[in-house]
Amino acid sequence: MKNRFFYLLVLLSFGIMSSVLAQKNVKLQGNVAGLGTVMVYLKKTDNANSKPLIVDSTRAVDGKFSFSRTIPEIDFYNVVAAGLPGQVQFIWDGDLTLEGTRDAFRESTVKGSPLTDSWLKFQNEIDLPYRDVLMNLYNDRQRSTGDTAIANRVAREEKRLKIEQNQKVAEQIKANPDSQLSLYLLNWYWTQFPKTEARAMYDKLSPSFKTHTLAKRLSAQLK
């Protein structure tokens, strides 16, 4: 009995059972300066069909609002305020706070989510830098229509950058099989890899993630 209890503690400490025990009561408290009294919507994407869903709605009072739910599994959600462009996206893995201003609503900060922090770190270090460079290359090509030398240079550089980015994504997934972020990364990038390689990365993810609705869809795609 003692050995089983110790083993359970070890699993919990390393997050191996994070998805298994994901169904829980969670809360999101928002405070957006200048937002006033408007409707705020909690949304997510249905993992089965990629359709957006309105999960809940509430009315902000003096820029303050909150959502409380029992979530079936840890997943991405986003908050949208009526009349404002953009959204605030986060991974709901516990009790969180959302802070920002009306004028820069989409740049609001979500605190209290280790997974969201990991996702934003990936975006800032791997996703956005490559995206910015690739966009500059595309702009060069657009400005130089008909210039074969520039078109060839852009094509070579684009290929090199995408290979480099995909290698970093694969390294991230392989180095962190017990992080649910790796499941999301594989879902986003698997088409960039040979299917056998993508399947091998999927198989090495923590077994606890295999019951996630996103994992079930991904597994079917990788067959």
143-174: per-residue pLDDT in tens? Answer: 888 788 888 888 898 899 899 999 999 999 99
Question: Of the CATH numbers 3.20.20.140, 3.90.550.10, 2.60.40.1120, 1.20.1270.360, which one belongs to the domain with range 2-112?
Answer: 2.60.40.1120
pLDDT above 90: residue 24: no
Could you tell me the pTM of the whole model?
A: 0.84
Q: How many CA atoms lie within 13 A of 59 on its CB side?
A: 3
Contact in structure between 87 and 106 (CB atoms under 8 Å): yes
Residue 29, strand partner residues: 66, 97
Q: What is the pLDDT of residue 19?
A: 45
CB neighbours of 16 closer than 8 A, spacing ≥ 6?
178, 206, 208
| Boundaries of every domain in the chain | 2-112, 115-221
Q: In angstroms, what is the C-alpha Rg of the chain?
A: 21
d(CA 25, CA 210) in angstroms, rounded, equals 22
pLDDT above 80: residue 4: no
- pLDDT per position as a tens digit, 82-108: 999 999 999 999 999 999 999 999 999
9 confidence band (pLDDT: 50, 70, 90)? very low
22 confidence band (pLDDT: 50, 70, 90)? low
- Altogether, the residues listed in the chain come to a count of 223
65 confidence band (pLDDT: 50, 70, 90)? very high
